[in-house]
Every structure is written in structure tokens, then in C-alpha cells.
Amino acid sequence: MDSVSVIGMTSIVIAGMTIAIGSIAPALGQGKAVAQALASIAQQPDEANTISRTLFVGLAMIESTAIYCFVVSMILLFANPFWNLITG
Amino acid sequence: MDSVSVIGMTSIVIAGMTIAIGSIAPALGQGKAVAQALASIAQQPDEANTISRTLFVGLAMIESTAIYCFVVSMILLFANPFWNLITG
Amino acid sequence: MDSVSVIGMTSIVIAGMTIAIGSIAPALGQGKAVAQALASIAQQPDEANTISRTLFVGLAMIESTAIYCFVVSMILLFANPFWNLITG
Amino acid sequence: MDSVSVIGMTSIVIAGMTIAIGSIAPALGQGKAVAQALASIAQQPDEANTISRTLFVGLAMIESTAIYCFVVSMILLFANPFWNLITG
Amino acid sequence: MDSVSVIGMTSIVIAGMTIAIGSIAPALGQGKAVAQALASIAQQPDEANTISRTLFVGLAMIESTAIYCFVVSMILLFANPFWNLITG
Amino acid sequence: MDSVSVIGMTSIVIAGMTIAIGSIAPALGQGKAVAQALASIAQQPDEANTISRTLFVGLAMIESTAIYCFVVSMILLFANPFWNLITG
Amino acid sequence: MDSVSVIGMTSIVIAGMTIAIGSIAPALGQGKAVAQALASIAQQPDEANTISRTLFVGLAMIESTAIYCFVVSMILLFANPFWNLITG
Amino acid sequence: MDSVSVIGMTSIVIAGMTIAIGSIAPALGQGKAVAQALASIAQQPDEANTISRTLFVGLAMIESTAIYCFVVSMILLFANPFWNLITG
Amino acid sequence: MDSVSVIGMTSIVIAGMTIAIGSIAPALGQGKAVAQALASIAQQPDEANTISRTLFVGLAMIESTAIYCFVVSMILLFANPFWNLITG
Amino acid sequence: MDSVSVIGMTSIVIAGMTIAIGSIAPALGQGKAVAQALASIAQQPDEANTISRTLFVGLAMIESTAIYCFVVSMILLFANPFWNLITG
Amino acid sequence: MDSVSVIGMTSIVIAGMTIAIGSIAPALGQGKAVAQALASIAQQPDEANTISRTLFVGLAMIESTAIYCFVVSMILLFANPFWNLITG
Amino acid sequence: MDSVSVIGMTSIVIAGMTIAIGSIAPALGQGKAVAQALASIAQQPDEANTISRTLFVGLAMIESTAIYCFVVSMILLFANPFWNLITG
Amino acid sequence: MDSVSVIGMTSIVIAGMTIAIGSIAPALGQGKAVAQALASIAQQPDEANTISRTLFVGLAMIESTAIYCFVVSMILLFANPFWNLITG
Amino acid sequence: MDSVSVIGMTSIVIAGMTIAIGSIAPALGQGKAVAQALASIAQQPDEANTISRTLFVGLAMIESTAIYCFVVSMILLFANPFWNLITG
């Protein structure tokens, strides 16, 4: 295989796998946090506002790791420095 | 194998695997959140509205990681920059 | 192997594996949600309607990830852009 | 190996593996749902009808993912577009 | 290897593996359901009839996924379209 | 390797592996059901007959998946259509 | 490798692996059943006879899957149809 | 590699692996049964005799699967029909 | 493959995999911490401030390991010393 | 590789792996049994003698599977029939 | 591949994998410690200072293993003795 | 590779792996036993002597499996019969 | 590949993997110990000093296994006897 | 590869992997023992001395398996009989 095939193939594989693997843990972590938030609201309805606010901050923190992966995936698809150099 | 085969084969593999792997965690996370929501409603029926609203926001956050994967999968099938360059 | 074999073989493999792997988590998630719904009804029979309604919305959200996989699988079998280009 | 062998071999492998892997999660999910339904009936016999009805709707939803896999398996065995094109 | 060996070997492998893998989850799921049924009868002997009836319906649903696998296994051994075409 | 070696080797491998893998889940499932039956008898001795009867029906259902595997294993050893055709 | 080596090697491998893998689940299942039986006797000493009888029936059922594997293993070592045909 | 090497190597590998793998589950199962027996004696000292007797019967049943593996291992080392035929 | 392909391919693979694997544990750990924070607030609303402050310090500590991985990933994509030397 | 290398290499590998793998389960099982014995003594100090006696019988049974593996390992190192025949 | 490619490729792979794998356990361990700290504060608010101080010491100890990995990763990227010798 | 390399390489690999793998289970089992001993002493301080004595006997039994592995490892490094014969 | 490449490549791989794998268990074990320490302080504030002292001794013991790995890693990078001999 | 490369490479790999794998279980086991010791002190502060003494004996026993691995690792790096013979 020549360089174009190798770099292209690798970029596709990694672009997909990065977001696929990278979405596993955030989804599980968010599911856990949301589930606990619902249990907490049922237990202490008067604190629903505080719970919601803390939940959203937490979800944003967790989402950030998924977004790191999405950014790398997009860079590999549309702003790939290795591909640009080889096909340039 | 020539470049067309390699890039085509890789795109198909990754398009399928990205959405397949990427759907595991969201489905599990949503299942957990929904299950807890049902338990919370049974425990505190008066807060059903608050619980439902928080649940839907949470499901949307979790769904977002599945959608990232679906987007990458569709890009690989129908707007693949590597394929376009090679077959262009 | 020539391109036709490679692309055809890959499409078959991924069409099957995408739906096979993609159906694992939704089925487990739905099983969890349904089991909890039954437990909630047994615990709070008066809220059976609210529980059922929330359950069905949740099942639909979870089913959506299985459907993403089924869509990709069908595209690979019957509307495969790579196969069309090579055998066109 | 020539194309006929490759496509045939792949179709057999995937037809079997799709239904084999695809039947794991639905069977486990259904087992969980049925087990919980029995526990709920034992706990709240008066709601046996509501529980049964919800159980059957849930089992049907879970079964649907197994059926997606069975459909793909049957398509690969008896209506395989790649095989038809190559042996046509 | 020629086509006859390849197709034959593959059919044997998949016929066995499909039923072997496909029998894992139904057996586990049924074991869980039966175990819970026994616990429920011990807890609520008066509902033994309702529990038995629900159990049998559930076992039949779970058994269905094992039967899908057995059907595919038998098709591959005795009504294999690929084998028939090649050895025809 | 010639066809006889390939088909023979494959048949031996799959005959053994099918029953080996296929016996895992039934044995675990039956162990779980038997264990629960013993616990139920200890808890509710007056219902020992009902529990035993339900247990035996359940064990037979679970055993059925092991028997599917044993049947396929015996077919591969003593009534193998592929072996018969090649050595016929 | 010639046919004799291949068939002989495969028979040895599978004869050993079948009983090795096939003994995992029965041993675990029996361990679970015995452990529960001991717990039940400690909890309800008056029912020791009923518990023992049910235990032995259950152990026999579980042992049966180990015996299926042992039978296949012995057939491969001492009554192997493929070996007999090739060395006949 | 010639036949002698292949058959000899395979026999050694399987003789060791059969007993190694085959000893995992019995040891775990016996550990569980012994642990439960100790707990039962502590809970119900008056039934120590019944518990011990049931324990020893159970240990013998579980040990039997380890012994099947040991028998196959010894056959492969000292009464190996394939080795005898080739080196005979 | 020449050096450019090898180094380029490796850099892409590792850039993606580092952030993908490296995001698993932080997301899970943060999910656990957030879930516990919500439970603690529901249990002790008066300490919501202390809990939030400790939570945010903890999240920052956990996020730091994800950031180590992101830094390495960015270095490999945009400041790769091996790539610079080879393509320089 | 010639026969001496193959048989020697295989014997070393299996001699080590048999005892390495074969020591996993007995150590875990014994750890479980010892832990439970300590808990039982703490709970029922008057039965320390009965508990110790049952514990030692159980440890001996569990140790037996480790000893099977050690025996096979020593046979392969110092009384290896295959090695003797080839180097004889 | 020549030495430059091999050493370069290996350094990249290991630099990334070391920090990726090495960040898994610290993140999980820190998540566990933080979660428990929050639970302890909710349970014993008066000891918040002692708990925080112990938590921070513990987090630093856990972080140290992540830092060992980061150090090795940086050495491989920017102070690699093997690379320096070969490209020197 | 010649015989010396093969036998030497294999001996090194197995000498290390035997003790590495063989130390996993004893360490875990001992950790469990020690943890339970500490819990038992806290629960029943008057029996500290009996508990310690039983603990040390149990630790010695568990350590024995690690020592089997260490013995095999030392034999392979310093009294290796295969190495002696080949380099003799 | 020549010796320099092989030894260099191997040293890099093992230097990184040793510390990466070797940091998993200490981080988890320390996380567990710290979490329990926090729970113990919350439960028994008066013993905070004894608990802290025992915790720090325990953390040092656990850290020691991580340090063994770090030492081996540094030896391989900067005092590698094999590399010195080959490049000497 | 010549003998020097093979033996050197193998020694490096196993020296690192032995201590890396061999440190997993001791660290986990020690973490468990330390955690339980802290819980026991919190529960029974008067027995802190007995608990500490038993803990340290237990930690030493567990550490011993890590030290076996470290010894083998050092032997392979600095007193390797195979390396000495080949490079002697």
C-alpha cells in the first residue's frame, strides 16, 4: 500500500474509533449522575433546584471528555496535518 | 489491494462499527436513568413533573454522544473527504 | 482479492455485525427499564398510568439507538454508495 | 480464493453470527423482565392484570431487536444482493 | 483451498457455533426466571397458578431466541443454498 | 491441506466445542434454579410439591438448549452431510 | 502437514478442551447448589430429607451436561470415525 | 514439522491445559461449598453432622469433574492412542 | 512502507487512541463523584456549599488525568518531534 | 525447528503454565474458605473445634486440585515420555 | 523498516499508551475517594476539615502514579536516549 | 532460530510468567483472609488468639501454591534439564 | 531488523508498559484505602489520629509495588545492561 | 534474529512484565486489608494494637509474593544465566 492509502485508511479508522470509544464512559457516567439526581429529587423535593444546578455542572464536566474526543475526530477528518502534507 | 478498495473497505467498516459501539453506552445509560425515574415516580408521585423534566434533559444529554457517533458514521458514508479525493 | 470481493465481503460483515452488536445494549437497557416499571407498578398501583407513559417514552428513546444501527445496516445492504460506484 | 468463495463464506458466517450474537441480549433482558414480573405478582397479586399487560408490551419491544437480527440473517441467506450479483 | 472446502468448513463451523453461542443467553435467562418463580411461589403460595402461567409464557418468549438460532443451524446443515449452488 | 483434512478437522473441532460451550449456560442456569428451589423449600416447606414440580419443568426447559447442542454435535460426528459428500 | 497429523492433532486438542471447558460450569453450578443446600439445612433442619433429595436430583441434572462432554471426549479418543477412516 | 513432533507437542500441551483449566471450577466450587458449610455450622451447631455429611457428598460430586480432566490428562501422557500408532 | 507512512500512521493512531482511552476513567470517576454529591446534598442540604466546593476540587483533580492525555494527543498531532525530524 | 526444540519448548511452556494457571483457583477458593472460617469463629466461638476440623478437610480437598497440576508439571519436567523417546 | 522508523514508531506508541493506560486507575481511584469524602461530609459535617485534609493527602498519593506515567511519556517524546543515539 | 535460542527464550518467558501469574491468586486470597481476620478481631476481641492461629495456618496453605510456582520458576532458571541437555 | 532496533524497541515498549500496568493496582488499592479512611473518620472522629497513621503506613506499603515498577522502568531507559553491551 | 537479540529481547520483556503483572494482586490485596483495618479500628478502637499487629503480619505475607516477582525480575536483568552463556 502506498502512503496515501495508509494515511487515509488510518485517519478514517481512528476518526471513527476515537468518538466511538470516547462516548462510552461519558454516556455511562451521565446515566449514573442523572439516575442519582432523580433519586435525590424523589427523596428531597425541596432541594430540586440545588440538585438540578449541581447536576448540570457535573454533566458539563463529564461531557467535556466526550468533546475532547469529538474534536480529535473532526481534526482527523477535516484538518488532518498528515493528510494535507502527503496529498498537498 | 489498491487504494479504492482500501479506503472503501475501511469506510464501511468504521461507519458500521462507530454507530454499533457508540450505541452501547447511551442505551445502557438511558436504561438506567429511565429505570430510576420510574422508581422515583413510584416513591414520590407528587414530584412526577419535576422528575420527568429532569429525566428528559438527562436523556437528551446522553443521547448527544450517540448522535456524535451517528454523525461521524453518516459523514463516512455520504461525505467522505478521503473517498472523494481518491475517486474524484 | 479484487475490489468487488473486498467491498462485498466487508459490506456483508458490517451489515450483520452492526445490528448484532447494536442490539445488545438496547435490549439490556429496555429489559432493565421494563423490570423496574413492573416493580414500580407493584409498589404504587395508583400511578400505573404515569409509570406506563414514562416507560413508553423511555423505551422509544432507547429503541432509537437500535434503529440508528438498523438504518446503517440497511444502507450497507441495499443503498451502498461504495458498492454502487464499484459495480456501477 | 475467488469471489464466489469469499462472498459465500462471509454470508454464512455473518448469517449465523448475527442471530447468535443478536439473541444474547434479548434473552437476558426478557429473563430479567419476566423474573421481575413474577416477583411483582407475588408482591401485589391484585395488579396481576396490569403487570401482565405491561410485561407483554415490554417483551415485544425487547423481542424487536432480536427480530431485526433475524431479518438481516434471513436476507443474507435467501435474498443476498451481493451473492445474486456475483452468481447471477 | 478450493470453494467446496471453504464453504463446507464454514458451514460446519457456523452451524455449531450459532447454536452453541445462541444457547447461552436463553439458558441463563430461563434459569433466572425459573429461580424467581420458585421464590415467588414460596412467598405467595396462593398465586401459584398465576405465577406458573406467566412463567410459561415468559419461558416460551425466551426459548424463541434459542429456536431462531437452531433454525439457522439446521438450514446451514441440511438446506444450505450456498452449498447447493456450489456442489449442484 | 486437502478437503478431507479440512472438513474432518473442522467437524471434530466444532463437534467438541459446540457441546463444550453449549453446556456452560445450562449448567449455570440449572445450578441457580436448584439453589433457589432449595431455599424456597426451606422457607415454605408446605409447598415442597408445587416447588418441585415447577423446578422439574424449568430444568427440562433449560436442559433443552443443552440438548440442541448435543444433537448438533452428534450430527457432526456420525451423520455429517459434508463429510459424506466428500468421502462418499 | 499430512492428514494423519492434522486429524490426530485436532482430536487430541478437542478431546482435552471439551472436557476441560465442559467441566467449568457444572462444577460451579454444583458448588452453588451444594452451598445453598447447606444453608437451607441450617435454616430448616426438619426438612433435611426433602432438601437432600431435591439436591441429589438437581446435581444429577447438572452432572448430565458434564457427562455429555465426557462422552464426546471419549468418542474422539477411542471411537473417532474420522481417524478410523483415514488410518483404516 | 513432522508427525511425531506435531502429535507429541499437542499431547503435552493438552495434557497440561486440560488439568489446569479443569481444576479452576472445582476448586472455586469447593471453596464456596466449604465456606457455606462453615457458616452453616456456626449458625446451627446442632446440625453439624448432617451438614458435614451433605458437604462431603457434594465435594465428591464436584471433585468428579476434576477427576474426569485428570483421567484425560493421564491418558494423553501414558496411553495415547494417536502417539502409539505413529511411533508404533 | 516507508518512514513517512509509518510515523504518520502511528501518530494518527496514537493521537486518537490516547484521548479515547484516556477519557474513559475520568468520565466514570466524575460520574461517580457527581452522583454521590447529589445524594449527599439530598441527605444534608445544609452542607450544600461545602459539598459543592469539595466536589469541584475533586472534579478538577480527576479532569487533570484527562488533560494529560489531551496534551499528549495534541503534541502528537501538531508538535510531533519525530514527524518534524523525518519530514523536515 | 527440529523435534527436539519443539518438544523441549512445549514441555517448558506447559510445565510452567499448568502450575501457574492451576494455582489460581485453589488459592482463591482457600482464601474464601479461610475467610469464612474466621467469620464463623468470631460468630460462634464455642464451635471453634468443629469449624477448624471441617476447614482443614475442606482445604485438603481444594489443595488436591493444585496438586494434580503440580504432579503433571513435575512429570513434564523430569519424567517426560515424549522427551525420553525423542532424545533417547 | 529501518531503525529510525522502528524506534520512532515505538516511541510514539508507548508515549501515548503509557499515559492513556496509566490514567485509568488514578482517575477511578480518585473518583472513589472523592465520592466517599462527599458522603462522609454529609454524614459528619463537623469533621469537614479533617476529611478534606485527609482527602487531599490521599489524592496526592494517588496522583503520583499518574505522574510517574506522565514522566515516562515525556521522556520518550523529548528526551529519548534510544532516539538520540540512532539519529545522533 | 536454533535450538539454543528457542529453549533459552522459552525458559526465560516461562520462568517469569509462572511466578507472575502464580502470584495473583495467592495475594488476592491472602488479602481476603487478612481482611476478614481483622473484621473478626474487631467483632470478637476475646477470640483474637484463636483467630490469629487459624489465620496463620490458612495463610501458609495459600502461600503454598505461590511456592509451587516459585519452585518451578527457579528450576527453569537454574536447574533446567532441557537447557542442560542442549548446551551440555 | 538488526539487534539495535530490536533491543531498543523492546526497551521502550517495556519501560512504558511496566509503569503503565504497574500503576493500575496501586492507584486502585490506594483509592480504596483512602475512601475507607474517610468513612472511618466520619464514623469515629475521635480516632482520626490512629486512622491517619495506619492509613499512611498502608499507603506506603501499597506505593512500594508501584515503585518497584518505576525502578525497573528507569533501569530499562537509563541503565540498560543489554543496550550497553550491544551499543558499547 | 540471532541468539543475542532473541535472548536479550526476551529478558527485557519478561523482566518488565513479571514485576508489572506481579504487582497487581499484592497492591489490590494490601489495599483491601488496609481498608478493612481502618474500618475495624473505627469500629473497635480499643483493639487498635492487635489489629495493627495482625495487619502488619498480613501485609508482609502479601508483600512476599511481590518480592518473589521482583527477585526474578532482577535475576533476569543482572544475573541472567542464559545471557551469560550466550555472550560469555
Measured between beta carbons, which residues in chain J are less than 8 angstroms from residue L60? none
Inspect the interface and report whether the beta carbons of H61 and G28 lie closer than 8 Å. Answer: no
Q: Name the band, by pLDDT with cuts 50, 70 and 90, for residue L1.
A: low
Q: Does B74 touch chain A (CB under 8 A)?
A: no
Q: Are K23 and A65 in contact (CB under 8 A)?
A: no
Query: What are the residues whose beta carbons fall under 8 Å from the beta carbon of D69, sequence distance 6 or more?
Result: C19, C20, C23, D18, D19, D21, D22, D23
Which of C6, C22, C40 lies at the smallest CB-CB distance from B9? C6
Q: In this predicted structure, what is the pLDDT of residue I40?
A: 92
Count CB atoms within 10 A of the CB of residue K56: 16
Q: What is the distance between the alpha carbons of residues L34 and N51, in angstroms, rounded to a whole number?
A: 10
Residue N88 lies in a domain: no
Q: How many helices (DSSP H) and strands (DSSP E) are in chain I?
A: 4, 0
| Residues on chain L touching N69 (C-beta within 8 angstroms) | 19-20, 23
Q: Do F32 and E31 touch (CB under 8 A)?
A: yes
Give me the pLDDT at residue A1, please: 58
**D77 closest CA partner among F29, G81, H62, C77:** C77
- From E54, G56, G34, E39, select the one nearest F41 (Cα to Cα): E39
* Per-residue confidence band for N1, with pLDDT thresholds at 50, 70 and 90: low
Please compute the mean of the pLDDT values over residues B24-38 and round it to a whole number.
93
Nearest-neighbour CA in chain L from N44: distance (Å): 5
F48 Cβ under 8 Å from any chain E Cβ:
no
Instruction: Examine residue E85 and state whether it is found in any structural domain, yes or no.
Output: no
Written as nine digits, the cell of D10 is 462471509
Query: Is residue M57 a part of any domain in this protein?
Result: yes
Q: What is the mean pLDDT of chain I?
A: 89
Residue matched to cell numbers 471513527: A16
For residues J67 and M74, what is the distance between their CA atoms, to the nearest angstrom?
39
M2, pLDDT greater than 80: no
- D-chain residue closest to C11, CA distance: D82
Report the pLDDT averaged over residues H33-53.
Answer: 91
Q: Select from E45, F28, F68, D28 the least CA-distant residue to G58.
A: F28
Min distance E71 CA to chain D CA atoms (Å): 10
Residues with Cβ within 8 Å of E22's Cβ and at least 6 positions away in sequence, in order, are: D19, D20, D23, D24, E65, E66, E68, E69, E70, E73
pLDDT of residue A12: 92
Eight-state DSSP code of residue G46: G
Cβ–Cβ < 8 Å for G16, H18 = yes
Looking at per-residue pLDDT, the higher value among J6 and G88 belongs to: J6
- Residue I2, pLDDT above cutoff 80: no
More confident residue, E87 or I32: I32
CA separation for the pair K43, K40 (Å, rounded): 5
Asked if L58 contacts L33 with a C-beta cutoff of 8 angstroms, the reply is yes
Task: Name the strand (E) or helix (H) holding G56.
Answer: helix G48-78
Q: How far is G50 from chain F (nearest CA, A)?
A: 8
- Tell me the mean pLDDT in the region C4-18: 90
Q: From chain J, pick out residues whose CB is under 8 angstroms from the CB of H63.
A: 61, 64
Burial pattern M52-87, b for ≥16 Cβ within 10 A else e, equals bebbbbbbebbbbbbbbbbbbbbbbbeebbbbeebe
E80's torsion region: left (phi>0), alpha (psi -120 to 50) or beta? beta
Place of cell 545492561: M81
Q: What's the domain count of chain J?
A: 1
Per the domain annotation, does B88 fall within a domain? no
Candidates B78, B67, B63, B86; CA nearest to B12 is: B78
Q: What is the spatial distance between Cα I70 and Cα K19, in angstroms, rounded to a whole number?
A: 10
**J22 contacts in chain H (CB < 8 Å):** 19-20, 23-24
Instruction: Looking at the complex, report in whole angstroms how far the Cα of residue D68 sits from the nearest Cα belonging to chain C.
Output: 7
Q: Is the pLDDT of residue B16 over 70?
A: yes
**pLDDT tens sequence across N36-65:** 999 999 988 988 889 999 999 899 999 998
Query: Across chain K, what does the average pLDDT equal?
Result: 89
Q: Is N33 an interface residue toward L (CB < 8 Å)?
A: yes
User: Quick one: average pLDDT of J26-39?
Assistant: 93
Shortest alpha-carbon distance between residue K27 and chain I (Å): 5
Domain range for B74 is 3-82
Helix (H) or strand (E) holding H25: helix H24-43
Backbone angles phi, psi at F46, to 5 degrees: -70, -20
- D11 contacts E14? CB cut-off 8 A: no
pLDDT per residue as tens digits for the range C45-78: 988 889 998 999 899 999 999 999 999 999 999 8
Instruction: Tell me whether residue G61 is in a domain.
Output: yes
DSSP string for E20-85: HHHTHHHHHHHHHHHHHHHHHHHH-GGGHHHHHHHHHHHHHHHHHHHHHHHHHHHHHHHS-HHHHH
**Residues E1-60 pLDDT 10s:** 577 888 888 999 999 999 999 999 999 999 999 999 999 999 889 888 899 989 998 999
In a domain, M35, yes or no: yes
Which residue shows C-alpha cell 539487534? M3
M51 occurs within a structural domain: yes
* Cα–Cα distance for residue pair J48/J58, rounded to 1 Å: 15
- For the residues L66-78, what does the mean pLDDT come to? 91
Helices marked H in A1-80 — which ranges?
Answer: 3-22, 24-43, 48-78
D67 falls within a domain: yes
CB N72 within 8 A of CB N20: no
d(CA H57, CA D4): 58
Q: Do J36 and L35 touch (CB under 8 A)?
A: no
Alpha-carbon distances, residue N33 vs J6, M36, M43, M62 (angstroms): 44, 11, 19, 11
Tell me, yes or no, if G35 comes closer than 8 A to chain H by beta carbon.
Answer: yes
For E13, name the nearest residue in chain F, comparing CA atoms only: F14
Residue J1 has pLDDT above 90, yes or no: no
Residue K34 belongs to domain with CATH number: 1.20.20.10
- Residue J57 Cα distances to H35, J67, K24, M58, M87, angstroms: 12, 15, 42, 34, 59
Give the 3-state secondary structure of residue A44: coil
Contact B66, B21 (CB under 8 A): no
**pLDDT-above-70 percentage for chain L:** 98
Q: Does L10 touch chain J (CB under 8 A)?
A: yes
| CA E80 centroid distance within chain | 19
Residue type for position B76: L
CB contact (8 A) between residue G38 and residue H33: yes
- CB–CB of A17 and I16 under 8 A? yes
Counting Cβ atoms within 10 Å, is residue E59 exposed (0-12), middle (13-18) or buried (19+)? buried
In chain L, how long is the greatest CA-to-CA distance? 65
The pLDDT, as a whole number, for residue M1 is: 58
pLDDT band, residue I62 (cuts 50/70/90) = very high
**Integer Cα distance of G14 and M3 in angstroms:** 40
Q: Which residue out of K32, K53, K71, K82 would a mutagenesis test of the M interface target, given it has the greatest number of M Cβ atoms within 10 Å?
A: K82
